[in-house]
Structure 1
Amino acid sequence: MEAALEEFAERGYGGASMAGAAARAGVAKGLIYYYFPGKAELFTAVVRSCIQPVFTEAEKLVAAHDGPYADLLQRLIRLAYQRVGEDSRDSVLFKLLLAEADRFPELGDFYRLEVLSRGLDLITSVVSAGAAAGEFRADAAEDGGLAAVLMAPVAMASVWRGMLGPERAPSLEAMCAAQTRLILSGLARPGPG
């Protein structure tokens, strides 16, 4: 997976080859084809290997949750920002998807179905549970675009880090803190009067 990621990162999706990934891994090209029938399958396997750990961790947080939903939402947001700061593979894949999805629509479709939808569903379930528990505004669960708006700053943080480099991009810690304050304030049920 690491060798394939290097191949995609250096050559782009269009220029990457199964032979190049095999050479980087130090294995015969036939071995790669044994596990992955083509470049698209190899690419999706690389993306899955990168995103699976963060989704597994997020889903465990949600399943084990016992307390205020505001705390859970804050932990999920923090996890997303940590991931942007810690795993450079995500940044490489994000840049690759941004650069190549218009030429290879199947990449965008894959991202939408397996990454974006999964993240949106997770956030929507937390906001809906918080609204049902009376912790968040009742109409928060009805807003179909809310989960995307909640996830967008993390995606933008990844874009800025890719464009500017980690040292010149806005601070992940500051963005996380500001986003959390805004979200929790916006989701709060109105008080009396």
Structure 2
Amino acid sequence: MTDTPHDSDTAPARASRLPSAERQAQILDAAVEEFAERGFAGARMAAVATRAGVTKGLLYHYFPGGKLDLFRSAIAGCVNPLLEEAHRLADGFTGSRRTLLESLIDLGYGRQEMEAREHILMKLLLTEADRFPELSELYRTAMLQPALDLARQVVEAGSAAGDFRPGAADEPGLAHVLLAPVLMGSVWRMMLGPDHAPSATAMRDAHLDLILRGLAP
């Protein structure tokens, strides 16, 4: 049987009484369980509906794009709070851009201790992106590009204020280099475990020393 939104499965009465936001959160929890067990390729919308206790029709009502919509929403639930926090920090900052950059990098290293859901979704992105270009594009647009844009904005403002050397934000690859150690630290923690991965504190100190020296006016 094909995995379509027209199956006549039924939902428990409790699902119909849930507010919309709680119901969607319930569905996303079920989706993460399904992705963790079966991977992106093996995950099925019908199985997610069963885990969540809803009809498949209701599942497609909230996520009409199917699995990719579910995965995108699960990623957004993990990534958006961090991006929003970073933008709040940047928008309300009154000190030097050097200090702001330090604070943003601290924020990134502070999130290396991932919750179970974040760990599952990041692992799927890393292991299945080569088979599913849509996952690679999702990573680029939802996670990487917003972080790169913010990094460039901070460096550009710092150059204008005299905190960083002129034109630094225009150098190709600079924003990627600013982010790469934070992202790699997260990957190492997933691969090696917290007991064997490099110290986040030591990486943070070395990272800041290198980039602040390199950006110095």
Q: Distance in 1 between matches of 2:112 and 2:30?
A: 21
Counterpart residue number, 1:128: 156
Does 1:25 find its partner at 2:52? yes
Opposite residue 77 of structure 1, the aligned amino acid is: I
Deviation at 1:86, TM superposition (A): 4.2
Does 1:46 find its partner at 2:77? no
- Larger proportion of helix: 1
| Structure 2 alignment gaps of length 5 or more | 1-27
Aligned pairs, number: 189
Deviation at 1:83, TM superposition (A): 1.2
Deviation at 1:55, TM superposition (A): 0.5
Equivalent in 30, 33, 41 of residue 3 of structure 1: 30
Q: Compared with structure 1, are the counterparts of its residues 102 and 86 closer, same or farther at alpha carbon in structure 2 (3 Å cutoff)?
A: closer
Q: Distance in 2 between matches of 1:27 and 1:137?
A: 56
Does 1:35 find its partner at 2:62? yes
Q: Distance in 2 between matches of 1:74 and 1:2?
A: 34
SS at the partner of 2:167? helix
SS at the partner of 2:194? coil
Q: Distance in 2 between matches of 1:88 and 1:179?
A: 26
| Structure 1 alignment gaps of length 5 or more | none
Q: CA contact under 8 A between 2:93 and 2:100: conserved in structure 1? A: yes
Identity of aligned residues (%): 54
Deviation at 1:6, TM superposition (A): 2.0
Counterpart residue number, 1:156: 184
Opposite residue 141 of structure 1, the aligned amino acid is: A
Opposite residue 26 of structure 1, the aligned amino acid is: G
Q: CA contact under 8 A between 1:85 and 1:172: conserved in structure 2? A: no
Deviation at 1:167, TM superposition (A): 1.9
Opposite residue 54 of structure 2, the aligned amino acid is: V
Counterpart residue number, 2:127: 99
TM-score by length of 2: 0.82
Q: CA contact under 8 A between 1:161 and 1:169: conserved in structure 2? A: yes
Deviation at 1:75, TM superposition (A): 0.7
Q: Compared with structure 1, are the counterparts of its residues 183 and 51 closer, same or farther at alpha carbon in structure 2 (3 Å cutoff)?
A: same
Q: CA contact under 8 A between 1:94 and 1:158: conserved in structure 2? A: no
Q: CA contact under 8 A between 2:156 and 2:167: conserved in structure 1? A: no
Does 1:15 find its partner at 2:42? yes
Q: Distance in 2 between matches of 1:72 and 1:39?
A: 38
- Cα offsets for 1:159-186 (capped at 9, x unmatched): 1111111222111121112111211111
Q: Distance in 1 between matches of 2:102 and 2:37?
A: 35
Equivalent in 139, 159, 164 of residue 167 of structure 2: 139
Does 1:185 find its partner at 2:185? no
- Cα offsets for 1:32-80 (capped at 9, x unmatched): 2220121111111111111010000000001001011111101111111
Deviation at 1:157, TM superposition (A): 1.0
TM-score by length of 1: 0.92
Q: Distance in 1 between matches of 2:45 and 2:114?
A: 28
Q: Distance in 2 between matches of 1:143 and 1:48?
A: 29
Larger C-alpha radius of gyration, 1 or 2?
2
